[in-house]
């Protein structure tokens, strides 16, 4: 369960029902994570059928509320909900009441009047999901909140890795390379990788490395000279849209690519390469690496559907051990 902050003075609409949100990877125990991964695996056969749909969440309502542009996360959540037969609605900030100055609180109160079971929310601000959760009885799933968390990404990443390497990730070394400062993917994946026993190293230019990040129990490198020790190289996209003009985080993309770009020369045979997408070919990843057989980028996208089905399913039915399709479910 996510913890709730003490209540605000103006309490209109504040929800006190017990419910399961997924706002941060830290909301999950290792057992929860493994349950979601196992649940996702049980959904894989469904996705290989001709008719890729089960009635599991029939009659349930899921609202995807996206305050930030997104292609893969939104389509992946939407498809996951549809594969489970839930009713879905997509709301984008552009063209909605948000454009007319409606506050997050009021938008959530309004949507909650339709009694959704789950609100999947992406928002440019940290903690928006937690704030939203206070005003709705629906479970809130964070599909990315600013630079803080993107838990479904972390879960699909470890799922894709398990599919590629095997269930036991204990002791493997993963290097997360790039713009750590602005990356909710890094903040979520660090937690997920560590939970499954992996050793995490962060590498990137010093201005894009958060001060005191070592306190999360990670190693920090400012160059790739020791990249060979990594079993998994997780590349981050250069997020030009988050860079303030004049902040001088990187002098140029050319220099960034030279220092931190993943090239065939840097790739050790057997290393797996991951990237949350969208990729910038020639910047953080060369074309040759992007198309290399040891690169799991498309496997990550594919894993997204099954993992998000598992997240939606577990959010509704709970985190006990039963698998979908076993007697008494669906």
- In the complex, the residues that contact another protein under the rule CB under 8 A are 3, 5-10, 103-105, 123, 125-128, 130-131, 146-149, 182-184, 187, 210-213, 215-216, 244, 247
Q: How far is the CB of 211 from another protein (least distance, A)?
A: 6
User: Contact at 8 Å (CB) between 319 and 20?
Assistant: yes
Q: How far is the CB of 27 from another protein (least distance, A)?
A: 13
* Helix, strand, coil % over all residues of the chain, rounded to 5: 40, 15, 45
Cβ neighbours of residue 122 under 8 Å, at least 6 residues apart? 65, 66, 67, 68, 70, 73, 74, 142, 143, 144, 145
Q: How far is the CB of 196 from another protein (least distance, A)?
A: 19
3-state secondary structure 68-122: CCCCHHHHHHHHHHHHCCCEEEEEECCCCHHHHCCCHHHHHHHHHCCCCCEEEEE
Q: How far is the CB of 317 from another protein (least distance, A)?
A: 28
Q: Tell me whether residue 191 or residue 324 sits nearer to another protein (CB atom).
A: 191
Q: How far is the CB of 217 from another protein (least distance, A)?
A: 11
Q: Tell me whether residue 133 or residue 295 sits nearer to another protein (CB atom).
A: 133
Half-sphere exposure of 159 (CA within 13 A, CB side): 32
Q: Please choose, from the candidates 327, 323, 317, 319, the residue with its C-alpha nearest in 3D space to the C-alpha of residue 117.
A: 317
Q: How far is the CB of 212 from another protein (least distance, A)?
A: 4
Q: How many residues make up the chain in this entry?
A: 330
Q: Tell me whether residue 212 or residue 320 sits nearer to another protein (CB atom).
A: 212
**Distance of CA 293 to CAs 4, 157, 182, 280, 288, Å?**
44, 17, 29, 18, 10
User: Contact at 8 Å (CB) between 57 and 285?
Assistant: no
How many CB atoms neighbour CB 269 within 10 A? 5
Q: Tell me whether residue 217 or residue 325 sits nearer to another protein (CB atom).
A: 217
Tell me the two tokens of residue 307.
């993992």
Q: Tell me whether residue 178 or residue 324 sits nearer to another protein (CB atom).
A: 178
Q: Tell me whether residue 147 or residue 308 sits nearer to another protein (CB atom).
A: 147
Spatial separation of the C-alpha atoms in residues 282 and 259, rounded to whole Å: 12
Q: How far is the CB of 105 from another protein (least distance, A)?
A: 6
Q: Tell me whether residue 162 or residue 187 sits nearer to another protein (CB atom).
A: 187
Q: How far is the CB of 177 from another protein (least distance, A)?
A: 17
Q: Tell me whether residue 131 or residue 169 sits nearer to another protein (CB atom).
A: 131
């Amino acid at each position: 369960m996510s913890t709730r902050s003490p209540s605000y003075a103006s309490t209109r609409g504040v929800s006190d029902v017990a419910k399961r949100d997924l706002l941060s990877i830290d909301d999950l125990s290792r057992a929860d994570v493994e349950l979601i991964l196992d649940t996702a695996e049980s959904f894989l056969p469904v996705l290989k059928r001709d008719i890729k749909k089960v009635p599991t969440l029939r009659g349930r309502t899921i609202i995807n509320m996206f305050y930030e542009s997104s292609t893969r996360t939104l389509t992946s959540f939407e498809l996951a909900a549809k594969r489970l037969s839930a009713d879905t609605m997509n709301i984008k900030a552009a063209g909605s009441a948000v454009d007319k100055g409606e506050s997050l609180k009021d938008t959530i109160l309004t949507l909650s009047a339709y009694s959704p079971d789950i609100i999947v929310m992406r928002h440019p601000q940290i903690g928006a999901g937690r704030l939203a959760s206070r005003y709705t009885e629906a479970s809130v799933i964070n599909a990315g909140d600013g630079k803080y968390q993107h838990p479904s990404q972390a879960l699909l990443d470890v799922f894709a890795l398990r599919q590629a390497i095997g269930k036991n990730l204990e002791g493997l070394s993963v290097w997360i390379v790039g713009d750590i400062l602005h990356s909710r993917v890094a903040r979520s994946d660090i937690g997920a990788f560590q939970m499954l026993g992996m050793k995490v190293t962060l590498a990137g230019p010093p201005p894009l490395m958060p001060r005191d990040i070592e306190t999360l129990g990670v190693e920090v490198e400012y160059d790739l000279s020791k990249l060979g020790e990594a079993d998994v190289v997780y590349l981050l996209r250069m997020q030009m849209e988050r860079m303030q003009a004049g902040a001088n985080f990187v002098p140029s993309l050319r220099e960034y690519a030279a220092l931190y770009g993943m090239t065939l020369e840097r790739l050790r045979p057997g290393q797996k390469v991951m990237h949350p997408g969208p990729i910038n070919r020639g910047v953080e990843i060369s074309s040759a690496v992007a198309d290399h057989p040891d690169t799991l980028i498309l496997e990550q996208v594919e894993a997204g559907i099954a993992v998000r089905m598992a997240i939606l399913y577990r959010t509704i039915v709970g985190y006990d051990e039963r698998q979908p399709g076993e007697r008494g479910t669906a």
